[in-house]
Amino acid sequence: MKIIIILLMALFISSQAYADMERLEKHELEDNRYRDLDLITYCVDGYKFIYINDFLTNPGRAIATSIVQFYIEKNGSAVPAKC
């Protein structure tokens, strides 16, 4: 009985570990001649997220990365935007 419970819990936990993720669109923005921004919109489990990568142009390495969930206003309150 103990083994069955442990097996079921392991299956439940492992099934929740994977997310359905899809890249929607990508924009490359130039901040100035030393920095560039990549703005990528992702759909994760039906909700919209924005990924921003700020990197230096010359060495080509990232200096900041940010992931933010996209919200919209609905009936006077902020709710997560769906894809």
Tens of pLDDT, residues 18-52: 667 788 888 887 766 667 788 889 998 889 999 88
- For the chain, the distance separating the N- and C-terminal CA atoms, rounded to the nearest angstrom, is 42
56 or 72: which leads in pLDDT = 72
What is the DSSP secondary-structure string of 19-59? --EEEEEEEEEE-SSSEEEEEEEEEETTEEEEEEEEEETTT
Q: Can you tell me which residue has the tokens 């200096």?
A: 63
pLDDT of residue 72: 93
Q: Can you tell me which residue has the tokens 């919109």?
A: 41
pLDDT of residue 75: 92
Q: Report in angstroms the alpha-carbon separations of 13 from 2, 16, 33.
A: 17, 5, 47
Residues in the chain: 83
In this predicted structure, the answer to whether residue 57 has a pLDDT above a threshold of 80 is no
In this predicted structure, the answer to whether residue 14 has a pLDDT above a threshold of 90 is no
pTM for the model stands at: 0.64
